[in-house]
């Protein structure tokens, strides 16, 4: 709250902060292919601070300690500790500590990315081209699609890091038993890239792993702070730290306004499984999860509360008797009649996922039909049912989890808009859409409003939109305009925040 506001005020007073004497970063050029001048210092004085630009998380579960020529980064969730030392400087003695899990020369310039959630982090700080291997092209980024098309970034969703001997390898079938590939074959093309580090999510095995635990955070803002964790491996603290401060302030300002609204609405998050997968503990029908502090799902209730509404998922005990959820706490395979009774006072429903495999966008109409069986719930009767499908990639997946972590302030404004539409009249949805109003003649109205309803472009169409490989991700940065009948002024305009956001996005560092 107050501390971050003072931090933000200091940023405004500085205004035109000089970045020329900052951390040593990679310089990418694209005049004749992909080229990088790696951020190496020509001489290293170990008595001089090599990292004048620094960041420190406020809420996320990691820590950073800065020394003159190296950094110590600790993932506090998994108890993993890494030493990062500046290129051009000597390897520090700290790198040989018994408790160190990895040592990296920074800035990195060739990395593996295990999750699409992190693509936006890399694009924002100008390191998209450092992503040389990705675990699936689940993205609507034009220039990332172009990088893959150009062969610079390898899309390898079914290739694993097998061992230090085999390196990256593929499973091959040599005994005509296609269901059980029996031989691991080295993937020479990937091994030739000599990946320096892998941003790796829990449960995966990666080369030179840098473990990322954003999924353990209990709120979206803390999850978004992991962009600063990424930045320290590339010396990109300057732009990322300022971006994080501005995002935090926009979140605080929006939430403080929303929480002042007197007439509180009730919001329920639900999922619907079209098929049963008993082997994975999933059963057909409605699922309502409980926001339990012991699970990361509590972030949904935190999001609703920050939007000034009542989180119905806080207590799902009335659904007892339905099949318990396997992943997290809550209930699944809930009958329509039971859900109608449970949600009889719910004002807004948010469908967590409305995945549609390409080109099956008529399936959105199918989701609408499921809700039409829930007449009697105020949210359904009043067409106040939303999902996060406004941004979709060519595979049919939605990008709100990745985008919401990059822009938690925009995600929060979306939720406020869905619950109190008259209170944020100028905000345009970034991730959310009204599900019941999005279907025309049985499917999404993609011909008329392709960029507004989650109608994805093809990979080819996206590549054509990448006309400048040096461009960074485009973010929403509109002025914050709130309407409140209870305040002395009918509207409150916060412009300083948007001005600083525009300043940050204009930085070329």
Strand positions, DSSP E, 234-362: 266-273, 285-289, 310-311, 323-324, 330-334, 348-351
119 neighbors 399 (Cβ within 8 angstroms): no
Residues of the chain with pLDDT > 70: what percent? 81
Residues of the chain with pLDDT > 90: what percent? 52
Which pLDDT band, with edges at 50, 70 and 90, does 362 fall under?
A: low
Residue 307 predicted with pLDDT over 50: yes
Q: On the CB side of 383, how many CA atoms lie within 13 Å of its CA? A: 8
pLDDT at 15: 31
DSSP string, 443-489: EE-TTT-TTTTT-PPPHHHHHHH---TTPPPP-----EEEE-TTSSS
Residues in contact with 222: Cβ distance below 8 Å, sequence separation at least 6, in sequence order: 57, 59, 60, 61
Residue 301 predicted with pLDDT over 70: yes
pLDDT at 24: 96
pLDDT at 274: 83
Average pLDDT over residues 259-275: 93
Angle at alpha carbon of residue 26, lines to 24 and 31, rounded to 5°? 140
pLDDT at 441: 54
Which pLDDT band, with edges at 50, 70 and 90, does 35 fall under?
A: very high
The two three-digit tokens of residue 153, written as one number:
């970034």
Residue 508 predicted with pLDDT over 90: no
64 neighbors 237 (Cβ within 8 angstroms): no
414, containing H or E segment = helix 408-419
Question: Which residues of the chain does CATH 3.40.50.1980 include?
Answer: 263-485
Residue-wise pLDDT tens digits, 140-178? 889 999 999 999 999 998 788 888 888 998 877 766 655
Which pLDDT band, with edges at 50, 70 and 90, does 20 fall under?
A: very low
Residue 495 predicted with pLDDT over 60: no
Residue-wise pLDDT tens digits, 89-109? 999 999 999 999 999 999 999
Which pLDDT band, with edges at 50, 70 and 90, does 450 fall under?
A: very low
Residue count of the chain: 509
Residue 310 predicted with pLDDT over 90: yes
Answer with the residue of higher pLDDT: 1 or 413.
Answer: 413
Report the alpha-carbon distance of residue 492 to residue 353 in Å, rounded.
33
Nearest by Cα to 225 from 234, 237, 235: 237
Topology classification of domain 263-485: Rossmann fold (3.40.50)
Mean pLDDT of the chain: 83
Report the alpha-carbon distance of residue 5 to residue 11 in Å, rounded.
10
Nearest by Cα to 304 from 435, 412, 421, 425: 412
Written in H, E and C, the secondary structure of 201-266 is: ECCCCCCCEEEECHHHCCCHHHHHCHHHHHHCCCCCHHHHHHHHHHHHHHHHHHHHHHHCCCCCCE
């Amino acid at each position: 709250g107050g501390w971050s506001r003072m931090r933000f005020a200091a940023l405004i007073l500085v205004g035109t902060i000089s970045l020329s004497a900052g951390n040593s970063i990679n310089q990418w050029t694209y005049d004749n292919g992909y080229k990088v001048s790696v951020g190496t210092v020509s001489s290293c004085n170990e008595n001089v601070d090599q990292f004048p630009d620094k960041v420190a998380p406020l809420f996320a579960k990691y820590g950073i300690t800065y020394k003159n020529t190296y950094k110590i980064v600790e993932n506090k969730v998994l108890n993993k500790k890494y030493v990062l030392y500046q290129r051009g400087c000597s390897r520090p003695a700290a790198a040989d500590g018994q408790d160190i899990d990895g040592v990296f020369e920074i800035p990195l310039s060739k990395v593996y990315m295990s999750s699409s959630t992190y693509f936006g982090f890399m694009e924002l700080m100008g390191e998209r081209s450092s992503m040389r291997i990705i675990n699936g092209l689940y993205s609507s980024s034009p220039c990332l699609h172009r990088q893959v098309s150009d062969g610079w970034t390898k899309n390898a969703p079914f290739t694993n890091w097998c061992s230090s001997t085999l390196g990256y390898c593929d499973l091959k079938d040599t005994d005509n038993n296609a269901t059980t590939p029996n031989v691991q074959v080295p993937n020479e093309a990937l091994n030739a890239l000599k990946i320096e580090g892998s941003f790796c999510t829990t449960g995966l095995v990666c080369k030179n792993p840098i473990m990322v635990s954003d999924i353990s955070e209990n709120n979206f803002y803390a999850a978004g702070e992991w962009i600063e964790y990424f930045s320290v491996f590339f010396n990109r603290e300057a732009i990322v730290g300022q971006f994080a401060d501005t995002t935090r302030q926009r979140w605080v300002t929006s939430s403080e306004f929303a929480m002042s609204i007197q007439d509180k609405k009730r919001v329920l998050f639900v999922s619907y499984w079209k098929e049963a997968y008993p082997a994975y503990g999933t059963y057909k029908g409605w699922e309502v999860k409980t926001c339990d502090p012991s699970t990361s799902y509590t972030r949904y209730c935190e999001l609703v509360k920050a939007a000034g509404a009542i989180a119905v998922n806080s207590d799902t005990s009335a659904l007892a008797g339905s099949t318990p959820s396997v992943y997290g706490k809550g209930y699944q395979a809930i009958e329509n009649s039971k859900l109608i009774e449970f949600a009889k006072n719910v004002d807004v429903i948010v469908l967590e996922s409305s995945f549609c495999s390409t080109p099956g966008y008529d399936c959105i109409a199918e989701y609408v039909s499921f809700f039409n069986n829930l007449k009697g719930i105020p949210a359904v009767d009043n067409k106040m049912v939303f999902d996060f499908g406004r941004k979709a990639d060519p595979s049919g997946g939605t990008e709100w989890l990745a985008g919401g972590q990059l822009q938690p302030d925009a995600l929060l404004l979306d939720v406020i808009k869905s619950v109190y539409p008259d209170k944020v009249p100028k905000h345009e949805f970034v991730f959310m859409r009204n599900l019941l109003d999005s279907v025309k003649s049985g499917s999404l109205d993609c011909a008329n409003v392709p960029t507004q309803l989650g109608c994805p472009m093809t990979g080819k169409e996206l590549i054509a939109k990448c006309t400048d490989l040096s461009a960074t991700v485009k973010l929403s940065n509109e002025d914050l305009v709130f309407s409140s009948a209870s305040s002395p002024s009918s509207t409150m305009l916060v412009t300083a925040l948007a001005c600083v956001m525009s300043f940050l996005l204009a930085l070329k560092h």
